Amino acid sequence: MSVSMSLVQGGAAGGAPQGAILAAAAPYYQPPAVPQDVQPDRPIGYGAFGVVWAVTDPRDGRRVALKKLPNVFQSLVSSKRVFRELKMLCFFKHENVLSALDILQPPHLDFFQEIYVITELLQSDLHKIIVSPQHLSADHIKVFLYQILRGLKYLHSARILHRDIKPGNLLVNSNCVLKICDFGLARVEEPDQTKHMTQEVVTQYYRAPEILMGARHYSSAVDVWSVGCIFGELLGRRILFQAQNPVQQLDLITELLGTPSREDMRHACGGARSHMLRRAPKPPSFSALYTLSSHATHDAVHLLCQMLVFDPDKRISVTDALAHPYLDEGRLRYHSCMCKCCFTTPAGMRQYTNDFEPSAGQAFDDLWERKLTSVQQVKEEMHKFIAEQLQTGRVPLCINPQSAAFKSFASRDQLQNSSTARNTAAAETNDGSMK
């Protein structure tokens, strides 16, 4: 049985192919004929460090997403972060994780300042769906949660922490297939617990209590907490912990979970621990979760309570969460008609894969980061890396400055990204991954 949803993609038809932002780089290349009613190029979103447009690939007329990463080489911290994101996008091979389809041909090294990445275009994201009037059935919730955890299992098995799981970073197409995106804050796990990691990660509403309480080191459990918050948001169609500042955020969490014990706060900094212990103790009120909606069944609340655990060491892992009975129906629906790992035979029989939730074949390697000690080094290595990725036999793509939309595409992201990039880059100076 198919789980589908009507998700309307905005933008009127029109716009000639020759006016598109993307162009084929090879001289004399004649792209295939593209229907004249192709949708115009248009902005569809902004990430932590880049602007994303919906554009048309001139080689086949396919609609794709074009992400621009501007001003890449302003500092060593920011340039290594972008290189890491780029390598991750090329590393990923999973149905529920967004990956790079192509990278645009870079200019000569002397003029190399920005990067353009092509990814699959999905029509919506989970935030837009949650706040829309679209009905969300129990089946929708289960299949969405299953795909989030399935993609996250793959990331965690590659030792990657996303660090910004939120509804807006979960892309969804009209068939309800979901992909995790935006790896601007992602990094490899830090096994050395004495090394400090930045606390300026994860959008506040989805930030785990250990980060809110100043933990200098944290694990993949921070992503599980974020998924728990999203699960609650899917059930109630409202943000589960919506506060104006981090202190209030922690207050809302303790209203639900109760005051944590000293043992549960062992990862917190001394000041935060003292602040919590000075306050009157609060008992847990998990029964409030049953009031989120009629979809908050016993199984749903049981799984949610295992995700929303104050102590990260006691929080359920992604692998164990996938084994919870609540997700059995979501797994069945996804693999019955939505996935690409299973297929239907000519006789009409469904041939299922041997591994429903595959892990990464290998861990993501970040040793290269330690060898890069200057912006120029990063620039040279990134230019070389992109050139290697382009050796696929396909005609490479480049930007068409003659496009009617080029001026808007080239300038629209500058104000959006300048302050965001400065703030996050400054925060990442304290991240163990950048040392």
Is 308:232 a contact under the CB 8 Å cutoff? Answer: yes
Task: State the catalytic residues.
Answer: 164
- How many whole angstroms separate alpha carbon 85 and alpha carbon 169? 14
* Type of residue numbered 351: Q
Rounded to whole angstroms, the Cα distance separating 146 from 328 reads 9
Rounded Cα distance between 262 and 274, Å, is 10
Q: Are strands 124-125 and 178-180 parallel, antiparallel or unpaired?
A: unpaired
End-to-end CA distance of the chain: 50
Alpha-helix runs per DSSP H in 122-194: 126-131, 138-157
Apex CA 330: angle with CA 326 and CA 336, to 5°?
Answer: 145
**Residue 67 annotated in ligand binding:** yes
**Tokens 């996303």 label which residue?**
162
202 within 8 A of 163, measured Cβ to Cβ: yes
Q: Yes or no: say if 97 and 128 are a contact pair by the CB < 8 Å rule.
A: no
Ranges of beta strands (E only) in 189-270 are: none
- 63-69 β-sheet, strand order: 42-46, 51-56, 63-69, 115-120, 100-103
Between CA 102 and CA 393 the distance in angstroms is 12
Binding-site positions: 67
Binding-site positions for ATP: 67
